[in-house]
Chain A
Amino acid sequence: MKKIVSLILLVLLITTITACNQNGVATDNDQPQSVARTDLNILQFGDLNSLNPVTNTSAFEGRLILQMFDSLTNTSPDFEIEPWVAESWDISDDGLEYTFYLRDDIYFHNGEKLTADDVVFTVERYLESPARASSYFPMQGAVALDDSTVKITMNFPFAGTLFLTSGLYIVSETAYTELGEQDFNINPVGSGAYEFVRWDEGQQIVMKANENYHLGPAQIKDLTFRIITDPNTAFVALETGDVDLYTGVRWLDFELAESNPNLATMSQPGVSYFYISINCERITDLRIRQAIMHAVNLDEMNIVVSEGSGTISEIPVLEGAEGYTKDFVSYEYNIEKAKQILEDAGYAPGELEYTYTYIESATNAKRGEYLQAQLNRIGINLILSPMELGAWFSSLPAGEYDFTTGGLTMNPGNTEWSYYMMFHSNGTFNTMNFFTEEIDEILDAARRELDRDARDLLLQQITKIIREEALYIPNFFTTLNAVYDKGLANVFINPNDYFRVHDFYWQE
């Protein structure tokens, strides 16, 4: 009996193992490669909702859409606007009419030519879409002047128009109407460098190179975005060669990757800025806010929250971005000074008590605990109130918090858009609730200011005000860590995690 059972177990074990070994997965690193690879597997963190540029709502999906669609204009890596589907454009003197002249060599994946009608159709879909409306509201509509000329009309002169057109990914009108929105979401038809092949839900999105791409066919022919939600698994997949490119690698794993001879690494400040909003309708006394500023050590917080991986910045813009200035009020870390300010203002230690709400997560909890400890040192009690995503969203409009987590994508070439959202009294993500006519006027002016330098100056004013008024506790810009196979060449990744696989190729 004993013998038989152990024998069975042994046989089972051996057969499984040898079976796996025989036709097991050979990792790419083991195989001598004579010919360069033409496939690429990219890690996708989490499943998607839609691959339709009209309905997609997350940046996750944006980088996939970028491979399959062409936008009317393009934002270059240094945030200049450059031609793409539109070869050139004219802007009317009043800044209300934009006339775009389209290339005539662009074809959709279904073989049809991209025409002015498709652009008009796309604009109409964007304007209808609740997912897009909050960004595209300055646009009034579009008309086709002829097959290759489109006129887009604005509701008011809008500074960021060409940023909007850079996010306008042209869909095929025929395909869209034939399939209907619902089916187009999972069967996108664009004109981009890659053609949609298959979407295995929760598993992968498969694309193949568009051989008729107007910028020439890509060298990488088979492109797969593999969905993995667990960071540990994701990193192992990178190490085993199951995926070749992984952006947004955790700091821990990034250090491991740096010592791995098969992997290339790249680290740069990302575009997500994190801060802790102070609800100025509840904490109205500027002196309290200033004391809080002095109580927080940004370096320490960076270490506690993100192992020191963040790029610390007191203002939500990095050098080189619109609205950046060195000339703002900086609050140095000084507990004694913070205490003194409170004392002078007449607050006894323990008198002040606040709550901090945040979306429940390990990182947010660490941030909360750090803040709690620091405020405690200056005699302010802080109650931590972690919440589920949905509950947190609901708490915002009601203003039921003293402090809350904030995090926003800051597009360096389009600071106006983010500032408007964060600080204008009509802003949709204004969690500081500091409403003044001055701020609104400056932001309204910036919104309509077509001259870049003039707009830059306006936004710098905002940058100064928000520090002076101590509206938020600064944290840092996240760092975008990317790791990829050493054999992959010409990899360029934008701070906002966008990249064009079209440019990549495998070295021999």
Chain B
Amino acid sequence: MREKLLEIRDLKVIYKTDEETVEAVNNIDLDLYKGESLGIVGETGAGKTTTALSIIRLLPYRVAKILSGEIIFNEQNLLELSEKDMRKIRGNNISMIFQDPMSSLNPVLTVEDQIAEVLRLHMDYGKEMIKKRVKEVLQLVGIPHDRMFEYPHQFSGGMKQRVGIAIALACDPDLLIADEPTTALDVTIQAQVLNMIDELQSRLKTSMILITHDLGVVAQTCDNVAIMYAGEIVESGTAKDIFEGERHHPYTEGLFGSIPNLDIDEKRLNPIQGVMPEPSMLPSGCRFHPRCPHCMDICIAESPQSKSFDGHHIKCHLFL
């Protein structure tokens, strides 16, 4: 029996600056079940990070605003929690691995200190116990524990990301959000780190949201997939639905058409003709219509509803 861990309903997030208002996430719905992993795929600027930050409520203060929606985690709406209660969840029940390991670790604190901090915050451990646990998680991510007194600048990029993972896993979280954990790494190291994440996730039975541009990665790692475009989830379902299903959103099809050739070192996708619209000037109707090969009149006039085919959701007028 699948048990729901996280349920996002109708989430809308904007960034409001002096110059413009960016509709970064527009009324999205997402579900994540215990022990499972969800891949969120989309071009740069699609709103993936914004979604992730909304979950742990670390959106930039003042600029970002959650206009509507709820994020139910373990039966409580995170958006209604006080900052104090939310702090108890961060790093403990939900933890996050960030995009750039180079800058995500504090340069003036030892690795031990940075891992121990999260333990001190959430675990009722004594000094010895903390030390023991730090060694344990370092071992888990494959770093010899005699290096724990070193500073981040003494580690390579891949190792830094492992430290980031160690911090995230230290408290045995229920949900791990990995936001493009390998984008900033060398291609060879990317695979190592991803394999490790995949392996740890299934071993520890942690639920995971993996944010990436890379459909290949998703295919290899995730149980479920959500495709994001211009702040919307245009298609979602099991990995099987997405990779083997018959029906697809035209955008997803475009994505498949551009799975990078391994011979070409291509880090970002630009799968489809044209570029993603400026999020401050989104087009009317279906957001994808200016780039869509199947564009119809209705697509320009009306935003499509999402339609479910046995849990495989597609948001496109073609299927309505």
When A and B assemble into the complex, do they touch directly, with CB atoms less than 8 Å apart? no
Residues of B within 8 A of A (CB): none
Which A residues lie at the B interface, using CB under 8 A? Answer: none
